[in-house]
């Protein structure tokens, strides 16, 4: 990263959202935990600045997922805001009182059963 993009764990100059202005502090909840952010800062950046890198679990495998592209392309940072899923944390702005949740592992009824050695395909 170039100079000035990140300071003290905070993304100061987002490639899409632009420079982070000096603004008032706001507080939102992430999985019930209060998170301090700067008004106008992305939720992903605020979580990163608070030491939280895992934004959700992979829907099938449950492996942790976090910021990848940070510009809205990869969809790895999907979170739920006020009960609505599918928001990108890297482009969604933090504001006072928001209720934000990480993703959950979903059941996968359409996954084929794993074959063991010696099993035949049907």
> Per CB under 6 A, does 68 bind ligand FES?
yes
**DSSP-based three-state secondary structure for 49:** helix
Residues in region 82-101 near ligand FES by CB under 6 A: 88, 90
Out of 5, 16, 29, 75, the residue judged to bind ligand FES by CB under 6 A: 75
Does position 33 bind ligand FES by CB under 6 A?
A: no
Tell me, by CB under 6 A, how many residues bind ligand FES: 12
Give the shortest CB-24-to-ligand FES separation in angstroms.
Answer: 25
For tokens 């608070």, the residue is 50
Residue with smaller CB distance to ligand FES, 25 or 75: 75
Interatomic CA distance for residues 108 and 113, integer angstroms: 11
15-46 b/e (C-beta count within 10 Å ≥ 16 → b): eebeebeeeeebebebeeeebebbebbbbbbb
Question: Would you count residue 49 as binding ligand FES (CB under 6 A)?
Answer: no
Q: Where does this chain touch ligand FES (CB under 6 A) — which range of 31-39, 64-72, 105-113, 114-122?
A: 64-72
Tell me how far apart the alpha carbons of residues 80 and 99 are, in angstroms, rounded to a whole number: 8
Q: How far is the CB of 89 from ligand FES (least distance, A)?
A: 6
Distance in angstroms (rounded) separating the CA atoms of residues 87 and 77: 8
| Binding positions for ligand FES, rule: CB under 6 A | 67-70, 72-77, 88, 90
């Amino acid at each position: 990263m170039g100079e000035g993009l990140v300071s003290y764990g905070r993304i100061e100059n987002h490639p899409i959202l632009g420079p982070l202005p000096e603004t008032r502090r706001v507080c939102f909840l992430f999985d019930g935990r209060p998170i301090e952010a700067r008004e106008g800062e992305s939720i992903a950046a605020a979580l990163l600045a608070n030491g939280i890198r895992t934004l959700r679990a992979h829907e099938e495998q449950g492996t942790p997922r976090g910021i990848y592209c940070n510009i809205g392309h990869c969809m790895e940072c999907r979170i739920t805001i006020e009960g609505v899923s599918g928001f990108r944390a890297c482009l969604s702005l933090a504001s006072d009182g928001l209720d934000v949740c990480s993703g959950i592992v979903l059941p996968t009824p359409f996954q084929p059963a794993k074959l063991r050695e010696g099993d035949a395909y049907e």
